[in-house]
Amino acid sequence: METKEIKVMKKILNINDSIADELRISLKEKGILYINLMSSPGSGKTTLLEKTAEKFGKNIFVIEGDIQTTLDAERVAKAGIRSFQINTGPFGGDCHLESGWIKSAIEEIDLSGIEILFVENIGNLVCPAEFDVGAHINAVVLSVTEGEDKPLKYPLAFRNSQLCIISKTDLLPYLDINIEKIKENIKNVNPQMDIIELSAKTGEGFENWVKFLNYNLKK
């Protein structure tokens, strides 16, 4: 019984990975940079996207993943970003997005003129990291309020990402937290990780995020 379950899971992951590879290649061919944002609930993914529209421009598209509600899609729409909401609630309430769902969403949307496609994955630091959605860049957002130990306790999201955005840095003066320790723990899990510290509230550090996006657009 247990062996069978493992086999079924392996097959699901194999199908997911092959669709993910297809997406990675087809979006690259279209010249669209594809970034998957992962994090715990409330670390600031949607706020980051709202501020990105203001600082970077509006030629971005966001596929929003949530178990319930279209609240995040409504928020980014208000910021002038086109978006598509995926809700997993009606289909069992999965806590992550899969590449097949992203593919189906892309078949329904017009990406002409779009430079960057973001996926805002479902708020959860565990499951989204287990499913490759075919992004060119996986980025994990970690807010300073979450504690220094999170990269060590939830390593997969950090291991499977190329960028870590340390968010809400405006709150540092009010917290008993050492940002150098957060960075040390990130590097312990993933020595290759790029790290950007920023506050979407004050805009502090945002120039590094915009630089990162422009650099990767030209690649």
Ligand X SMILES: Nc1nc2c(ncn2[C@@H]2O[C@H](COP(=O)(O)OP(=O)(O)OP(=O)(O)O)[C@@H](O)[C@H]2O)c(=O)[nH]1
Please give the order of strands across the beta sheet that includes 137-143.
82-87, 60-66, 116-120, 33-39, 137-143, 163-167, 194-197
Q: How many residues bind Mg ion (CB under 5 A)?
A: 3
Site string for ligand X, 126-165 (x = CB under 6 A): ----------------------------------------
The residue from 12, 15, 42, 91 that contacts ligand X (CB under 6 A) is: 42
Report the residue from 27, 61, 72, 121 that binds Mg ion according to the rule CB under 5 A: 72
The verdict on 166 binding ligand X (CB under 6 A) reads no
Distance CA 152, CA 172 (A): 20
Instruction: Establish if 43 lies at the interface with ligand X (CB under 6 A).
Output: yes
Considering the rule CB under 6 A, would residue 123 count as an interface residue with ligand X?
yes
Please state the φ and ψ torsions of residue 117, each to the nearest 5 degrees. -105, 120
| Packing angle, helices 45-56 and 206-218, rounded to 10 | 70
Size of the site for ligand X (CB under 6 A): 17
Which tokens belong to 41?
């609930």
Q: Which stretch binds ligand X (CB under 6 A): 24-32, 42-50, 131-139, 206-214?
A: 42-50
